[in-house]
Amino acid sequence: MKELRLEDVAVARGGAPIVRDVTLTASAGEVTVLLGPNGAGKTTLLEAVAGVLPLASGRLTGDGEDLTGLDRVARARRGIALVEQGRTVFTQLTVAENLRAVRRSATDRTVELFPELEKRMDVQAGLLSGGEQQMVVLARALAMDPSVLLIDEMSLGLAPVIVKRLLPAVRSLADEGCAVLLVEQFATLALEVADTAHVLAGGRLTHSGPAAPLRKAPDVLHAAYLGEAVSEPEARS
Ligand SMILES: Nc1ncnc2c1ncn2[C@@H]1O[C@H](COP(=O)(O)OP(=O)(O)OP(=O)(O)O)[C@@H](O)[C@H]1O
């Protein structure tokens, strides 16, 4: 899949509208970051894209094909993978077993991306550091060979120095052709690897545009987090 598109998407939880009017595209070869304050609806939106939650209205398409009516399994078959919040490794299994549970050859690819895991393959995943566990989670998602990777706050509970190690790996996945849609709380770090940025506040997009200008415009980002309608940073005087 080269292009995943959300058109006027609304999502509800327990009958309560959480996300509305979201239109955005995630393209192959790019990192699209979704920023925004806690409770804005970012997880809700990713879950709706993955098919965990239904869309209340709007459309989801992959290269023009309507995916809206497909369930999670059918979307996964189309190449959409979700890395959920929380480091969901099998703690009792070794790193290698965690990876092989998805695909036998997954360990080779993992070592390419995260050489530090090479010596940890026979260690129980539950004994790894948080950062290493997140590497295993990412590697498992990759083993499914997704064309669209949805990543929900992989940095939760991790130190910025670890996040700095993980985000370039996410960038390299996009460079290899994956369309990455990344939800991230470390906005500054995420913008460094992103091509396009969207800010979700109060369930609506308050900013959409290229990531690069936002790196130098914390005030624009701040306003978007507060839910204010904002102009493109380049357009400001
Ligand atoms: N299972 C649920 N049932 C009902 N409402 C929920 C449920 N989970 C989350 N919510 C509500 O939906 C809103 C959006 O939550 P969501 O987790 O999508 O936001 P988020 O932007 O990902 O925030 P965070 O960064 O805190 O994870 C919040 O107001 C939250 O209270």
pLDDT above 80 (res 236): no
Q: What domain range includes position 162?
A: 3-232
Polymer length of the chain: 237
Residue 131 lies in a domain: yes
Cβ–ligand 1 distance for 134 under 6 Å, the answer: no
Structural domain tally of the chain? 1
pLDDT above 60 (res 221): yes
What Rg, from alpha-carbon coordinates, does the chain have? 18
Distance in Å, CA 38 to ligand 1 centroid:
8
Chain-centre distance for alpha carbon 64: 21
Residue 237 lies in a domain: no
Write down the pTM of the prediction. Answer: 0.92
- 19-64 confidence digits (pLDDT tens): 999 999 999 999 999 999 999 999 999 999 999 999 999 999 999 9
What pLDDT band is residue 229 in, cutting at 50, 70 and 90?
Answer: low
pLDDT of residue 235: 44
Q: What is the CATH number of the domain that holds 185?
A: 3.40.50.300
Cβ–ligand 1 distance for 40 under 6 Å, the answer: yes
User: Mean pLDDT over residues 185-205, rounded?
Assistant: 96
pLDDT above 70 (res 165): yes
State phi, psi for 65 to the nearest 5 degrees. Answer: -80, 135
What pLDDT band is residue 4 in, cutting at 50, 70 and 90?
Answer: very high
Distance in Å, CA 39 to ligand 1 centroid:
5
Residue 36 lies in a domain: yes
180 beta partners = 31, 149
Residue 209 lies in a domain: yes
pLDDT of residue 103: 84
User: Mean pLDDT over residues 118-143, rounded?
Assistant: 93
Q: Are strands 57-62 and 80-83 parallel, antiparallel or unpaired?
A: unpaired
pLDDT of residue 109: 85
Structure token pair of residue 12 = 């509800």
Residue of 11, 22, 34, 43 to test ligand 1 pocket, by largest number of atoms within 8 Å of CB = 43
In the chain, alpha helices (H): 42-50, 72-77, 95-100, 106-113, 130-143, 160-175, 187-193, 211-215, 218-225
pLDDT above 50 (res 147): yes
How many CB atoms are located within 10 Å of the residue 161 CB?
Answer: 8
Residue 145 lies in a domain: yes
Residue of 11, 22, 42, 82 to test ligand 1 pocket, by largest number of atoms within 8 Å of CB = 42
Residue 169 lies in a domain: yes
**Rounded-to-integer distance, Cα 202 and Cα 37, Å:** 8
